[in-house]
A and B are shown apart, each in its own frame.
Chain A
Amino acid sequence: MVTTTPDRATSDDALRTPSVLAVLVVRNGLPWLRECLQSLAAQTHPRLGVLAVDNASIDGSADALERALGSGRVLRLSEDRGLAGAVRAALDVPVAQGADYLLILHDDTALAPEAVARMVEAAEGIHGVERVGVVGPKVVDWEQPRVLREVGRSTDRFGHPYTPLQDGELDQGQYDRVLEVLYVSSCAMLVSRATWQRTGFLDERFAGRHDDLDFCWRARVAGFRVLMTPLAQARHLGAGAKGERREPARRRGNQYYAERAALAAMLKNYSALSLAWLLPLHVLFGIIRLAYLSLSRRFEDAYELLAAWTWNLIHLPSTIRRRVRAQSVRSTGDRSVRRFMESAWFRVPRWFQTAERLLEEQLEEEREQVPIRTRAASLAVEHPALVTWAVAILVGALAYRELVGPGALEGGALATFPTQAGAFFRELVSAVRTTGLGGTEAASPALAPLGILSSLPFAGPALGQKILLAALPPLAGLAMYRSIRRQTGQAVAASIGAVAYVLCAVTFWAFSEGRIDLLVALAVLPAVADRLERAFGADRPTSRWRAAVGLGMPVAVGVLFLPGVVPALVPLLAVYVIAGRRRLRGSLVAVGGLAVAVALAFPLVPTWIDAPGTSFSSVIGSVDFGRLARLAPGGGPGTWVVAWFLPVAAIVAFSLLGPGDRARGWRAVTVGVVGMFLAWFASAGYLPAALTDAPAYLAVAAVGAATVVGYGLAAVGTGIARQAFGYRQIAAGVLAAVLALGFAGQALAAIVGGWEIGRSALPSAWPVVQGSPGSFRILWIGRADGARFPAPGGDPQGVVEAGLASLRFAITGRDGISALDIGRGPSGPGYAYVDRTLGELLSGQTSHAGALLAPLGVRFLVAEEGDLPRSADERLRAQVDLDLVPAGGLVIFQNARVLPPAFLTGSGPFARAAAGSDLRQVASIPPPTTFALAQTAEGLRVPDQEGIAYLAQQYDPGWRARSDRIAIRPELAFGWALAFSDAAGATISFTRQWVRTLEIAVLAILWIAVLWVTRRPAST
């Protein structure tokens, strides 16, 4: 804003008093109209006329106007034409066209007696200030005149309105100088004749919403000034905004109208050059905003944003016409207009203001010689979230430094992301699994968010991967913060509990290993636990249905990324069902939540029922109880001895709980302890496969432990200072010390880094495998000790038991574990075949494991150096058809008998062996001559030769080989794969894609419905 100096007019000028016509626009304003009219009558300006325009009021306002002004000064419109329409109608009256100034006045605005005179004075009488086109008064609240409502307005670069006023800001004279502004409110707006004649008047399309912004901007482009004079004062009721005006309910929120006007005003008023760079930025920021609104489930706001864009798209032709008119009278550049705009990041200054305030507080305390420790403590107590975020950003920046840079991350257990985001969506909607051993198992709907994240502008899958890894730990902390905050109401306790959760060993381990699935589980489990606490707790939820949906959604998200969340829920649910306060209500909500979760993941449910053992299980884990007790499923940064801080802090915090917290404290502690023990039982192999997932149990244990820490801190925060010195004070000190040491140690570990993932974290021997041409699969093997495979092998998919030679194994494509398999386990008869084959190998009685693995398309068997049991290693080296490839860091066996994943062969032995599942036949198949099947748009084309067409793809009866109107059904090959006899010249394809398409459509509807039910309220 620009301040000008008020100056009195000269005596010569005073002789010619400008005429002002007040155009009073009325719409159902009877309750406040009288006061408005009285204020007009009291004006001191000598040449003031009044013309009232009634916008089809139905409350008798028109009659009241006629009684007050006479019928000649009242225009009755037959329909509501809005502010712009009413002003246009007024302008049709000759007296209006002849007036030097028009004063646009809302019916809920009352002017101070000298207001008009002062505005005219500002328009004409300020020395050196010429071409004043528009003047507005200082607007105060109707009922509380000390509260400021308007002192002129501005926008950001993209036309979004901005006011310098805070809500409820009192008038203390802080704006008492004439300000040159971008625009003033149309509630009382003085417009010179020259201005409206040159620029035209208000844009009727805006229907009274932010049309003042557009009009003033046009006036500025045409070279006129816009001023706010504090000497003129008006009281404004804002009846429409307050809902006091009798009119149909608005269909849209403020967000919509502001966004609509902003874009339209930009399009009309910016020069082409400015638009060339501002419009793309506007679109980009708009998309980011849309994503944020969608992710935070503010769907109504997102919808309004989209609706505003749509309005502008529809009205683009008329906008262009108006733009031509506005630009035709341009007499100044955009730069002179932008002087009156705020920065595009106008919130940033506010943050700086907050920071400045905090700094001032600190400086004040420094002047008062408050010890730095006390100052730090007071800062943390008064602004816990701010301090937490500041420290987290600092530590996070240092921790992530190794991961920043071009290229995708790799290493650890990080799944390989596809090179294109579209691959996520293709896999999601595909009825055929393209990973592992194929089959028709549905992909996890978790691929949808991964695909969306990877599709965002400037983000590819590689960037999406990094964003996920960077965002998930803070999100987990946020979820824990919200959970503790809701339950205890204490921000400090919640902040510390959240930090403890983020810095615990299992979170570190998940991050270090790039386990996106577990990180998602860690982010949703606090919400699940909180909602269970709410459902089973004393507070009455607003609606059971909404509570069930609210519980089901995070459960579904967790399960879709990490099916192991299902077994992890068992201890959680068991504790609440046994020890919850409202068991019946809670159980109903829990059952409803689980039903919702099942519905939201329904395409995966058949597989879960068919093969629960492989769907939910993870053989990752350690049998070292000490390690598990500090919540570390494996090794790596942050899993060291300092990681004990959380369980120790949880126990100390538990001992501090007061009577009111004990019940939920017991529940949380029980969850933590049970989770710990279940993790051991899972790692040690005592649980059924479907309940075996040690990392998931530890994640639940971490939730329990961090929650107890939050409860304990909340208990310390309420009244400990008033209690006599004793155990509680000592324990609080111990708790503080444990947490401080733990946080410092873990933060140090994070800063030091050394993550398993990185930008060049694959074994040096990996190119031996990666460089092999063609399509093939890799069988990863190693000692059955609960560890993952070397990158990019991922986690084991199973264990073949053979005494001391027992092996863990996984089968992947040529790029290793794929992100397309997130949330999807190995299942189907092909994996049973792998199990049989490895069992045969480990029995020590075969020398032809390569031939046995050939139908799987396995070209390489890969193990980490030193990770094979000696007897297994000897048996592998004894195989005739497995050749050890020289490679450092990995033990790689190349299968001499490998077969392509899809081919035609005329080999009789192959056909005979394929017809059954007798491994003796398979082992003795001589290397067949094969002809590759060509990939076409319709499917796999079989060469026009006799033989058997073979697909190393798990069997499903939905496959067909079609040729000349004959559809050949598939045969079961080797007990698990697909074969087609007499399919010369045919095209092989899957015929039941429509089922999957339908599933996806239903799933989308279900998710939309659930998101809508659990949406956040729209912003006002």
Chain B
Amino acid sequence: MRARGQLLSAVLVVALVVAGGVYLQDGIGPRSFAAPPLPEAPSGAWFCPHGGGTDWEVTIEVANPGPTPVRVRVTRLGSGKPSSPDVLTVAPDTELQLPAPAGERGSSTMVEYFGGWVAAGWVAHAGGGEGGVAAEPCLSGGGRRWLVPDGTAEENQDDYVVVMNPFAAEAVFTLTLYTTRRPAPITPGDWTNVVLRPHRSEAFRLNPKALGESTVSTLIDVKVGRVATSSLGVSGLGGIRSSVGIEGPPPTTSILPGGFDQGATDLVVMDPTEEAASVQALLLSKDTSQAVPSLVESSTNPGSAATYPVTTEGPSALVVRSPAGVAVARRSLGVTSDQGSTSGTGTPGQAWVILPAVAGPPTHPGLVLANPGTEPVEVTLSYLPAAEGPVPSPVTVQVPAGRVLGPPRSFLEAKPFSAILAVAPGGTFVPAAASYSLGREGYATYAVSLGVPIPEAWIPR
């Protein structure tokens, strides 16, 4: 009897262990971890591979849409040692414009910010016998694979890829060029395993490597370190353009806002993949949305790049759907000989900062609000003034679904050198500045600059 009792005890122990173990493992499970702590010291950096040239004037624009002052540290990079950093503070709801010496094609600027969030971009005004304005938002991070679709090596065009290494480790990368006519990508020997020292920036001229090619797209494959890139096109006819690189893999849907051009826009499609890709594009305008005819029933050649003409009018946006790995950019010609370029975005956002794309008076600021969605969206625009003076009241505009809208000109012209905060509490959209400036009538130069999306945590409520 006693032995039986001990056996029963043993069975009970086993039952307890098994039942307890199963309950703990499957019923309770490990304790879940708490959410990330609230940030104490938000900070970030913008990388602006704007390029430059003799007598160029580059302005770095930094806008603070937040409620607290943000400290920024600006460092200029080039082929030599980096400059001593300038430390400045951007007051809440204002914009700061900093001239950035840019005497080299490969000039670039790093903007670090502390204590909040700011948007940063640049406006480059060519000088020294070259003309035109280019504007782009800066890049928010370094990467290891970049695609720069926009480029051409035609006559009267000097095109570059600006590569900046703002980091403390050297970068080693290879540039591969994709063209329309050449059956295979070009990998120049001297552009293979290029070593870019820490805190340096350099421009790579495309023309000698792909002379005469109408479309030259560049893939920058980084083996060691990180870089940030952009294109820089200098036209012999007196215009410049630049668009930041797309960190791979590129989005399969790209939204490329722009407009107010002379009606001629090029869609550059870069296909570094090994399979032919079918690209579809939708042109959104103020009143309609329609497929881009030049792309219908066409497909890209693998390992190539091609340009497709698109006819536009007023504010417009291209919504391009492409297979994985294919990158696109929009190149527009202004009413004069200046060009504008953008590589767009893959994600519409709820709140944006649109930095001005004008280089000086007189100006014709333009703003494009593209709604690629299926619901109309109400966008409230307010200024983040760059200078003292009266600030117009915010305006709210409704952008219909699948349409593009330009806000009231009176609002835009009130503060043409100030950034605009655009917030759509109930939806998402994509904005871009497409502006003219300088010259006698203010139409001498043309630039397109995508807005800067505001991260979720920093959207003003």
* Chain A interface residues toward B at CB < 8 A: 623-626, 629, 647, 651-652, 654-657, 659, 662, 666, 669, 673, 676-677, 680-681, 683-686, 726-728, 731, 784, 799, 801-806, 836, 839-840, 842-848, 852, 878, 880-881, 883-886, 894, 896-897, 918-920, 922-924, 926
Please pick, from A804, A886, A924, the residue contacting B224 in the complex, using a CB distance under 8 A: A886
Q: Which of A784, A836, A885, A923 contacts B33 (CB 8 A)?
A: A784
Assess whether A802 is in contact with B16, with CB atoms less than 8 Å apart.
Answer: no
- Specify the chain B residue showing the minimal Cβ separation from A726: B3
B29 at the interface (CB under 8 A from A): yes
Contact A625 B36 (CB under 8 A): no
Q: Is B373 interfacial (CB 8 A cutoff)?
A: no
A948 to B188, CA, bound (A): 52
CB of A646 to closest CB in B, whole Å: 13
* A801, A878, A884, A924: the one within 8 Å of B34 (CB): A801
On B, residues with C-beta under 8 Å from A are: 2-4, 6-7, 9-11, 13-14, 16-17, 20-22, 24-25, 28-31, 33-45, 71, 73, 85, 87, 112, 114-115, 141, 166-169, 223-226, 457
Residue of A680, A731, A840 touching B24 (CB-CB under 8 A): A680
Q: With a CB–CB cut-off of 8 A, which chain B residues contact A805? A: 36
Residues from chain B with a CB closer than 8 A to the CB of A843 are 36-39
B112 is contacted by which of A727, A848, A886 (Cβ under 8 Å)? A848
Tell me whether A656 and B167 are in contact (CB under 8 A). no
Contact B43 A924, beta carbon cutoff 8 Å: yes
Contacting residue for A847 out of B3, B10, B33, B43, CB 8 A: B43
Query: What chain A residues lie within 8 Å of B224 (beta carbons)?
Result: 886
In angstroms, Cα B10 to Cα A39, docked, is: 74
Taking CB atoms, residues of chain A closer than 8 Å to B14 are 651
Q: Is the CB of B35 within 8 A of A920?
A: no
Cβ-neighbour of B43 out of A681, A728, A846 (below 8 A): A846
Q: Which of chain B's residues have a CB closer than 8 A to the CB of A847?
A: 43-45, 112, 141
CA A643 to CA B102, docked complex, whole Å? 69
Main secondary structure of the interface of B (DSSP, over half): mixed
Supposing A623-B29, A920-B114 touch, asked if A676 and B169 sit within 8 A by C-beta, the answer is no
* Nearest A residue to B7, CB-CB: A655
Q: Given the interface contacts A651-B13, A659-B2, does A624 sit within 8 Å of B25 by beta carbon?
A: yes
8 A-B contacts, Cβ less than 8 Å apart? A686-B31, A801-B37, A840-B40, A880-B166, A881-B168, A883-B169, A896-B167, A920-B114
By the criterion CB–CB under 8 Å, are B169 and A845 in contact? no
Nearest Cβ distance between residue B11 and chain A, in whole angstroms? Answer: 8
Known: A673-B17, A685-B31. A840 touches B225 (CB 8 A): no
**Given pairs A840-B40, A923-B43, 12 additional interface contacts (CB within 8 A):** A629-B21, A651-B10, A655-B9, A669-B13, A727-B4, A802-B35, A842-B37, A848-B41, A848-B114, A883-B167, A883-B225, A922-B41
Q: A655-B9, A843-B36 are in contact. Are A923 and B114 (CB under 8 A)?
A: yes
Collect the chain B residues with CB atoms within 8 Å of residue A673's CB. Answer: 13, 16-17
The smallest C-beta distance from A876 to any residue of chain B, in angstroms, reads 12
Contacts of A846 in B (CB 8 A): 39, 41-44
Q: How far is the CA of A727 from the CA of B2 in the complex (A)?
A: 12
Residues A623 and B43 in contact, CB atoms below 8 Å apart: no
Determine the chain B residues whose CB is within 8 A of the CB of A799 once the complex forms: 33
Complex-state Cα separation, A68 to B33, whole angstroms: 100
Q: Inside 8 A of B40's CB, which chain A residues have their CB?
A: 836, 840, 918-920
Are A623's CB and B25's CB within 8 A? Answer: yes
Q: Smallest CB–CB gap between B8 and chain A, Å?
A: 9
Q: How far is the CB of B203 from chain A (nearest CB, A)?
A: 22
Kindly state the separation between the CA atoms of A886 and B223 in the bound complex, as whole angstroms: 9
With A840-B39, A923-B41 as contacts: A657 and B33 at CB distance below 8 Å: no
A683-B6 contact in complex given A625-B24, A924-B73, C-beta closer than 8 Å? no
Which residue from A625, A784, A840 sits with its C-beta under 8 Å from B25?
A625
> How far in angstroms is the closest Cβ of chain B from A587?
26
Complex CA distance for A881 and B110, rounded to whole angstroms: 13
Alpha-carbon distance between A847 and B31 when the two chains are bound, in angstroms: 29
Q: Is B41 touching A839 in the complex (CB atoms < 8 A)?
A: no
Determine whether the beta carbon of B167 is less than 8 Å from that of A880. yes
Chain B min CB distance to A758 (Å): 31
Partner of B169, one of A657, A683, A894: A894
Q: Which residues of A contact B4 (CB under 8 A)?
A: 727
Closest CB of chain B to A711's CB: distance in Å?
A: 11
* B21 & A657 in contact (Cβ 8 Å cutoff): no
Docked pose: A922 CA to B40 CA in angstroms: 11
The answer on a CB contact under 8 Å between B3 and A727 is: yes
Contacts of A677 in B (CB 8 A): 20, 24
Contacts of B21 in A (CB 8 A): 625-626, 629, 680
Residue of A nearest to B44 (CB): A847
Question: Are A896 and B168 in contact, CB atoms less than 8 angstroms apart?
Answer: yes
A652 to chain B, nearest CB (A): 7
Known A629-B21, A655-B6, A727-B3; contact A880-B45, beta-carbon cutoff 8 A: yes
Interface residue from A654, A655, A803, A848 paired with B36 (Cβ < 8 Å): A803
* A655 smallest CB distance to B (angstroms): 4
**B112 nearest in chain A by CB position:** A880
Measured in the bound complex, the distance between the Cα atoms of B448 and A388 in whole Å is 84
